[in-house]
Homo-oligomer: A and B are copies of this chain.
């Protein structure tokens, strides 16, 4: 049986894809409520991470941050001590590379194999199985779970040894966060200069300076409706992972840190649960 821990916006949809492809699933989440739709589709409920481990030989985790991953893995009633030797843990959470390497060590001590396999893509691609996986770890371990990953994603890239999936993911999320914030500032400036919001947005989206994913944020910005696909507080957390990693690797990233604090202010001022494109609204509100 396959274990799946973490049923938020992303995890619930990814687990749903596995179920829909006929895989038997045992699931766990901090609040059981979010598991209900999956249980109705046939998934089995586990009252703790430990209980997941007792019934699964492959465990997927999809959680909000390193601390949450650490808790379910090696905290009280964590799953890692209870997995059978030779089992495989696939962590799809966005964490930092040092953390992935540390989790791989914890797994290794218990003779559990480990892959870091974070995903590019948010709510809609998760629902449609169109995520992109960036995977770190052993090629043979990846081959073993590739069919499962392909239920959830349209592409699977092996980036190298343990930690390299996570490494590529934070590089991508840095681009995502900063492109969004740069776009938000450009639209804000355009409006301040008297342009109609939709006109600036569409002019930028029609040119060569705006990242393609921004087209998916058009309506949110134009309509001022920031229902979360990827919550702002998660993006802010990812920028913190970027900053921590840059410090460890001894590179200066002035713009990334400025972006981190811009999102931090927005988080503090009430936009934390909105989509991260609400960074625009933070800049606009008076």
Contacts and interface: CB of A to CB of B under 8 A. Distances in A.
Interface of A: 97, 120, 132, 157, 159-160, 164, 167-168, 170-172, 174-176, 178-179, 181-183, 185-190, 192-195, 200, 203-204, 207-213, 240, 242-247, 249-262, 264-265, 267-270, 283, 285-286
B240 A252 contact: no
B268 A209 contact: no
Nearest to A216: B208
Nearest to A193: B167
A189 B171 contact: yes
A270 B252 CA distance: 13
Contacts of A186: 171-172, 174-175, 178
A170 to B, nearest CB: 7
A212 B252 CA distance: 25
A204 B264 CA distance: 25
Contact of A254 (B132, B170, B245, B262): B262
A181 B259 CA distance: 12
A168 B259 contact: no
